[in-house]
Amino acid sequence: MAVCASDPITLNGLTQSLMARLEVFVAGDEHPDDVDVLVFAPERVDAAATAALRRAAARSSAPVVLVASELDRSHLLSLVECRVVAVLHRGAATEERLVRAIDLAAGGGGALPPNLLGELLRQVKDLQQEVLAPLGLNSASMTPREIDVVRLLADGLDTEEIGNRLCYSQRTVKNIIQAMTSRLNVRNRPHLVAYGLRAGVI
């Protein structure tokens, strides 16, 4: 794992706490691409901290454990986009809690305080209602018509059969599939079905 902090005292404290139990890399602006977890400890989560997290997310797919004294709730969705999966208040970040959060992150889990989890869910709901729904999209970025096509693809139907089932022309079905593969950045029909499975629409 890698540790990055906004000040040397915090960096030293985190590193000393964790070195006895984990293999720790002290990160400045750079850290190895193959770390399992990044512990990021800014003083406060502001625009500069979020920008640093975005740079880290661009370099590595490692999940992030965030330790901060101040967190503006308006940054929650941005933090999720930057692979933050666990948040600890600096005053409550004991060695045990920190190690537990790191273990959860490394195992694909996460840990948010209940108040932040509730706020995040509210923001996701607002995003769905105010941004996606007016465009006819859902959280999978698919319209109901596109979901119907993907489900029939998953059932093994070809273009003609999908058209017959949905009362579309073959050209319409092909256009729907082409629009999805382009927008969702998938390579082919099996990849599109896999995307639908991961998004939970199949």
Q: What pLDDT shows up at residue 117?
A: 75
Is 63 within 8 Å of 89 (Cβ atoms)? no
**Residue 185 to residue 178: CA distance in whole angstroms:** 10
From first to last of the 202 residues of the chain, give the pLDDT tens digit.
788 887 788 877 788 777 777 666 565 555 556 678 888 888 888 888 888 888 887 777 889 898 888 777 777 788 888 888 888 888 778 888 888 888 888 888 888 877 777 777 777 777 667 766 676 666 667 888 999 999 999 999 999 999 999 999 999 999 999 999 998 889 899 999 998 888 878 8
d(CA 59, CA 44): 22
Q: What DSSP character marks residue 130? A: I
pLDDT at 110: 84
Question: Is the Cβ–Cβ distance between 143 and 180 less than 8 Å?
Answer: no
Identify the pLDDT of residue 167: 93
